[in-house]
Amino acid sequence: MRVLITGMGGELGSRVAQLLEDDPRVEEVSGLDFVPPRRRLRRSRFRRVDLSGLDAAADFVAEMAPEVVLHLGVYEPHARSSPVGAAERTANTSVAVLGAAARTGTLRRVVVRSGIEVYGRGRGRPSVPDELVPPEPSSLFGRICLEAEQVAAAMSRRLDVPLTTLRLAPVVGSHVPSPLGRVLRLPIVPVSIVSDPPFCMVHVEDAAAAFAAVAHGDRGGVLNVVAPGAATPWQAVRLGGRVPFPILGRGWEVARRFAELAGAPVPTHVVELLRRGRTADGARARSIIGLHDMRDAQAILAELFEWASVTPIASAQTRVA
């Protein structure tokens, strides 16, 4: 089986590539991204491409003739791209790469990375949406995810190949460049003064295991990949030993500016999460994919906060001397 991974440069994409490299059923793993992979890959081929090199990306895909496409090139605002850059990269990668893969005639299966942000948090929406709740995104990242889903769905219909959509909860891990993780690790964390809503997460290892598992399946459909349990902003602050900074109404805009100055830009979907929460039902994915040993929300937060602080090289050398 030949597998193409878009977004292979990210923490999730690199980890999925590693898992597939270890799978003897996978003959070839290739990938694309605008940044190099974050992990050591032994037998994967990687092509670095950005918005200006989409023709080269299409040629790379045509040459590889993938049988399975794992479309992880769905970029979260302020993870590694600006909000505008994330939207543009996702849209262009989706169209260029999936279009090129469709033209090869070898495609048998598509898996697309999406997020539970597609459900939105508008008034009257279910608190814990399952896969059958119609998407109604209320943030930029939600709209980015939905657009990627729609492009993949259109291609799947045209070619009559199964499409699996994995809607991930916010992906958090000690080394993941996640906007939510950055905010929660700030010394002073903005929290809502009027509510303490629950939010869920998924560990990057569990998310990668889900992609590796569905790459082989022959069924399509939508699955929410969500760790069991939930946490709240106030609870996370206490668990991490941080200082809460209660905020009301327009104060969130000011807090976003300060957080950005502190090196943790907060995109709108993370503000939405901190103010209104974000949960989804992941029971179906856990039973279908067999993800029974997922790390729960509390374990994910504990790992996030136990991560050792970065030691500057210069000061470490001084100590050794």
Q: Which residues bind another protein (CB under 8 A)?
A: 126-130, 132-134, 194-198, 200, 226, 228-232, 234-240, 277, 279-281, 283-284, 286-287, 292-299
Q: How far is the CB of 297 from another protein (least distance, A)?
A: 7
Q: How far is the CB of 154 from another protein (least distance, A)?
A: 17
Nearer to another protein, 106 or 127 (CB): 127
Question: Is the Cβ–Cβ distance between 6 and 32 less than 8 Å?
Answer: yes
Nearer to another protein, 40 or 292 (CB): 292
Nearer to another protein, 58 or 133 (CB): 133
243's CB contacts (< 8 A; 6+ apart) are 187, 188, 189, 237
Nearer to another protein, 218 or 293 (CB): 293
Nearer to another protein, 180 or 200 (CB): 200
Amino acid letter for position 198: P
Task: Please report the DSSP string for 154-203 in residue order.
Answer: HHHHHHT--EEEEEEPPEE-TT---HHHHHHTSSEEEEESS----B--EE
Q: How far is the CB of 235 from another protein (least distance, A)?
A: 4
Q: How far is the CB of 125 from another protein (least distance, A)?
A: 9
Q: Which two tokens stand for residue 117?
A: 């942000």
Q: Which two tokens stand for residue 275?
A: 């103010």
Q: How far is the CB of 288 from another protein (least distance, A)?
A: 9
Query: What is the CA 14 to chain-centroid distance, rounded?
Result: 12
151's CB contacts (< 8 A; 6+ apart) are 91, 94, 95, 98
